Amino acid sequence: MSELPPFVLYYFAAFLVLALPVKVRSIILLATPVITALHLWFNVDTGILSTYSLFNFELTIMRTDKLSLLFAYLFCLASFISTIFALRLRDIRQDIAGLLYPGSTLGAVFAGDLITLFIFWELMAVSSVIFIWARGTKRAIYAGMRYLVFKVMSGACLLAGALVLYHSTGSLAFDYIGLEGLAGWLIFISFGIKCAFPLLHGWLTEGYAEATPTGTVFLSAFTTKVAVYALARGFAGEEILIYIGVIMACFPIFYAVIENDLRKVLAYSLINQVGFMVTGVGVGTALALNGAVAHAFIDVIFKGLLFMTMGAVLYRVGHINGSNLGGLYKSMPKTAAFCIVGALSISAFPLFSGFVSKSMIMTAMVQEDYSYLWLFMLFASAGVFHHAGIKIPYFAFFAHDSGLRPKEAPVNMLIAMGLSAILCIFIGTQPQYLYSMLPWAVDYWPYDMTHVLAQLQLLFFSALAFVWLNKQGIYPPELRSTNLDVEWIYRKFIPAGIHRGLFVFRTARESAITAVIAPMRSIRNSFSQSFFARYHLSESWPTGSMVYWISIILVAYLLLDIFVYE
Amino acid sequence: MMQGHLCILLVVIPLFAAPIAAILPRGRLPWAAALIVTSVCFVLAGMQLWSVVQDGVVSYELGGWAPPWGIEYRIDAVNAFMALIVSGIAAVTLPYALLSAEKEIPEHLIPLFYSAFLLCFTGLLGITLTGDIFNVFVFLEISSLSSYALISLGRKRQALTSAYQYLIMGTLGATFFLIGVGLIYSQTGTLNMVDLAARLPQVSSLNTIHTGFAFIITGIALKLALFPLHLWLPNAYTYAPSVITLFLSATATKVAVYVMLRILFSVFPSDFVSTTPTGDLFLLSGIAGIISASVYAIYQVDVKRLLAYSSVAQIGYIALGIGFASFTSLTATLVHLFNHALMKGALFMAIGSIIYRVGKCHMDSIHGLGRQMPWTFGAIIVGGFSLIGVPGTAGFISKWYLVLTAIEQDSWISVVVILVGSLLAAVYIGKLIEALYFKPAVDSNPAVNEVPFSMLAPTWILVLANIYFGLNTELTVGVAEHAIRVLGVTAE
């Protein structure tokens, strides 16, 4: 049984959902992650378990070790919680996507070679875009298209990198790759797109904000985490990742603070959290890698929780603009409470889950003497508390009363949020269980005096700043606005550039026509009135052009053959 | 007894069936005759491939005249593979043809339609099976003349002009071929391919031979619609009846590719590709063709025309493979030839189904049909994915081999071109899917149902073949590698 790849279970379940009546659908949806997790727990050992051959290559479809197993458990957990959250949906497209997407993710995590990874990489892209398109609005369809283009580019880079690597080393194994040569960079860029590196992140902020309320919960859990996993396996300890990670942790804060669409705020804060993980991978010591992996694990839970609370608000209210919300705690108290738990976790409050993993990365940075960058990360931590820890719950549930009195979220959503909230607090207070599952052996305990004090200082001063800025009226108000990000380049700048380019081309062509063709035309006209015109064959497209082309080719061919080639 | 005559039966049966179909009464009898003939030919072609793979080359002397004087049919793995593709596609096409042809072709012309179809079929099989280069010309003309007639039967009046233009251009190509054959004959005194292969090395430095070679290559390049000699193809494919579009796109250009391979690698000394501009010509036109035809395809508003341009782009991939002229690249060429027949067959069948229901295939008039015709839409999705080269479909296998070849040859520009080509294919297929599924239905269109089973079944046979050959590559790649070895190219 050990060699059964877990994605097969998910795909089979997707088939069952299609084939069986609606009544049993929920059972299948809920049972799949549980069965898969049990299968992984009881049956699967570590090592290379299952190979297959595709055109003369021996490919590894299932290679397990502690790193991939940890991510696999995480993905089972995330798909279980997200499925509960989406249970009442009754939308077959999203049900199927909710099985195919996590299934493909599991396939990617266990892929032992780059070709298998590429196949699941593409399947993830295709299955996840359904969550955006299912929203059905015109904006969502176009956002989905752009999302898909990014993902296909990422896949193309991965495939090209894999082929170049195979050409130069003769191996397709997915192990440490490193940034040497074209292959390394191609694969790095491919992972980078999925990881939402700065300037490559447009698909994330745009796509996640346009997806369905439940879809974003799925989307936030898998794609970027697989990319972090892939980076940890292929590029651990590459120094450039530290700088990229620091930029990723810092720049979204500014956007998040001024953004009005609260799910977009969360999307920016997702990039910021992934920045912490990327930094951890870049530092590359056992502690840092453990921190990155642990942070990925925890982030899925609390970011999922935050997206769920915002999804619940979107589901009940119909929009998610900070400027038009507020006071919802009166009618959605449970959702508000869960949101606060998620906010405390993401802000790394002691006793909440974010604290136990973020401190690992920060400690590892200090140990490796990256003090200046460490200061930037401190700034990023404070920024997180600002935009995700305070802004999200404050503007959605408190602030000025918007007068909206929606109903409390449905039971299944509450259960899903509750589960996540319990996990946040459990991991935050009892981190030893998570630590014992981490892939590298490390002796670390987050709750010592310096850490707790430093973190609390940071948080309280950050909170103070928010309160003071808000009181003075300096804090950027929630405005209905569109903020420009990199997507402006390909949504506005390039189309405008092409437009302008076409205009210049057209003008140039017109002037060329007047300068060259007009005289020729007058020659032709005088020719057609002459005696010879009787023998002039009338133009008949395309036969005429065809004769023209075939004679050109024949003549060129013969001349080249006789004079150029031997 | 039967085994020895397989190859001649494959040509003679459809040849004699053609006039019979013409004189049969109107109704479904001509169709039934054609169906029986193509199915029998399919079985015979399968037996032939089996026997060739088992026992090696078969040589059949027509009328008992010994080669090189008489005409020889010489069957090896390449011919047999091609004959199987042609008859296989014909056998899948005919069940589909019944309703589609009844809808698109005037009733009194139906017997003639099937008669011309069988003649075209005869010609294509003849080209693949014969071992005599002049005989290739004869069969080329049989298949071409009948296909001009078939194209002119299209629903619109433009079918007539496009058939006429194709006639002029096709004749041009055939004439070039004939001039080339004449020049070669003047120096070697033989028309038998095996004999030619033995005699050509002694005279290969003569300018006459080189000129003849150039004429033959350009002539066939026109027949296989090598960019920029593709101008006949978009009109012909767009205005032909759906059945003919699908049959010609899946077989006619493929047979021309076969003739090209045969002449380049087993008739002429195989270093001709590298010592003449041939290899570079194919690379250049392949690269230009992939990019420009894909871009043209994006801007088409007629779905058949879109797919026709996409065919030109796919021929670009085939040309790339021929241009590299290595063992892997030619394997890729043959595999792509087979896979492209599968995917274009499936796509044109699905589009034909839409025409059957709606009567047109303009981009604006198919809005929302994907929701009303789910199975046809499914076929378009899988066929389209195969065209893009999504893993798990046949198209991925051939793209994969092509990219491998390009990397092997250190031709980075081709790698980029192949990948960009796939991206452009994703754009035009995306456009098609968007129109079919995401756009709201046109009000003036009445709601339609799925097409009958007799049209869906052949479509889905090809669709499933796309998936099957995307997962199991043993048959296609194995046979292709064997065939390339037979042509005389070996792996270094």
Work out how many domains chain B is built from and give that number. 1
Residues of A in contact with B272 (CB under 8 A): none
Residues of A in contact with B211 (CB under 8 A): 558
Domain assignment present for B328: yes
Model pLDDT, residue A540: 42
Q: Going by C-beta distance under 8 Å and a sequence separation of 6 or more, which residues neighbour residue A38?
A: none
Domain assignment present for B81: no
Q: Going by C-beta distance under 8 Å and a sequence separation of 6 or more, which residues neighbour residue A50?
A: A3, A4, A5, A60, A61, A62
Task: Find the CB nearest A565 among B277, B423, B477.
Answer: B277
Model pLDDT, residue B39: 93
CA distance B39 to chain A (A): 32
CB contact under 8 A, B229 and A543: no
φ/ψ of residue B28, rounded to 5:
-95, 0
CB contact under 8 A, B229 and A561: no
CB contact under 8 A, A152 and B217: no
CB contact under 8 A, A55 and B231: no
Interface of B with A (CB under 8 A): 165, 168-169, 172-173, 176, 207, 210-211, 214-215, 217-218, 221-222, 228-229, 231-232, 235, 275-277, 281, 390-392, 397, 400-401, 403-404, 407-408, 415, 419, 422-423, 426, 430, 438, 473, 477
Domain assignment present for B145: no
Model pLDDT, residue A538: 37
The pair of structure tokens assigned to B418 is: 């192949």
Model pLDDT, residue A439: 84
CA distance A549 to chain B (A): 7
CB crowding A135-174: b at 16 or more within 10 Å, else e? beeeebbebbebbbbbbbbbbbbbbbbbbbbbeeeeebbb
Full domain range(s) for residue B385: 278-492
The Cα diameter of chain A in Å comes to 105
Q: Going by C-beta distance under 8 Å and a sequence separation of 6 or more, which residues neighbour residue A459?
A: A347, A348, A349, A382, A385, A389
The pair of structure tokens assigned to A151 is: 């993902």
Domain assignment present for B49: no
Model pLDDT, residue A528: 63
DSSP secondary structure of B12-55: HHHHHHHHHHHHSPSSSHHHHHHHHHHHHHHHHHHHHHHHHHHH
Task: Find the CB nearest B275 among A118, A141, A566.
Answer: A566
The pair of structure tokens assigned to B184 is: 């070669």
Q: For chain A of 566 residues, list the mean pLDDT of each consecutive stretch of 10.
A: 81 86 84 89 77 75 87 92 85 87 92 90 90 86 87 88 85 85 89 90 87 88 91 89 91 84 88 92 90 91 90 86 81 90 88 87 87 86 82 82 81 91 90 85 80 82 81 68 70 78 82 78 70 42 76 87 75
Domain assignment present for B133: no
Q: Where are the domains of chain A?
A: 1-235, 238-479, 486-533, 536-566
| Per-residue model confidence as pLDDT tens for chain B (492 residues) | 466 788 888 889 999 999 999 888 888 889 999 999 999 999 999 988 888 888 888 888 887 787 777 888 888 888 888 999 999 999 999 999 988 888 888 888 899 999 999 999 999 999 999 989 999 999 999 999 999 999 999 888 888 888 988 998 899 999 999 999 999 999 998 898 888 888 888 888 888 888 999 999 999 999 999 988 888 888 889 999 999 999 999 999 999 999 999 999 888 887 888 788 888 889 999 999 999 899 888 888 889 999 999 999 999 999 999 998 888 899 999 999 999 999 999 999 999 999 988 888 888 888 888 888 888 999 999 999 999 988 888 999 889 889 888 888 888 888 889 988 988 998 899 888 888 887 777 776 677 788 888 888 999 999 999 999 988 888 888 888 888 888 877 766
Residue with tokens 């010994």: B66
Q: Going by C-beta distance under 8 Å and a sequence separation of 6 or more, which residues neighbour residue A422?
A: none
Model pLDDT, residue B125: 93
Cβ atoms of A122 and A158 closer than 8 Å = no
ipTM strictly over 0.90?
Answer: no
Nearest to B73, CA basis, from B125, B129, B27, B126:
B129
Residues of B in contact with A540 (CB under 8 A): 165
Question: Between helices B207-223 and B242-261, what is the axis angle to 10°?
Answer: 160
Nearest to A398, CA basis, from A359, A448, A440, A343:
A343
CA distance B394 to chain A (A): 13
Q: What is the pTM of this model?
A: 0.67
Model pLDDT, residue A89: 75
CA torsion angle B340 B346 B352 B357 (round to 10): -160
CB contact under 8 A, B229 and A553: yes
Domain assignment present for B374: yes
Interface of A with B (CB under 8 A): 54-55, 118-119, 122, 141, 145, 152, 156, 159-160, 163-164, 167, 540, 542-543, 545-547, 549-550, 553-554, 556-558, 560-562, 564-566
Domain assignment present for B106: no
Give the SS3 label for residue A61.
Answer: strand
Length of chain A counted residue by residue? 566
| DSSP 8-state assignment for residue A48 | E
| Dihedral sign, Cα of residue A370, residue A375, residue A376, residue A382 | positive
DSSP secondary structure of B115-151: HHHHHHHHHHHHHHHB-BHHHHHHHHHHHHHHHHHHH
Length of chain B counted residue by residue? 492
Residues of A in contact with B438 (CB under 8 A): 141
- How far apart (Å, rounded) are the C-alpha atoms in residues A108 and A117? 5
- How far apart (Å, rounded) are the C-alpha atoms in residues A90 and A56? 44
CA-based nearest residue in chain A for residue B422 = A156
**In A259-332, where does DSSP find H-type helix?**
262-283, 286-317
Provide the number of CB pairs (under 8 Å) joining chain A to chain B.
86
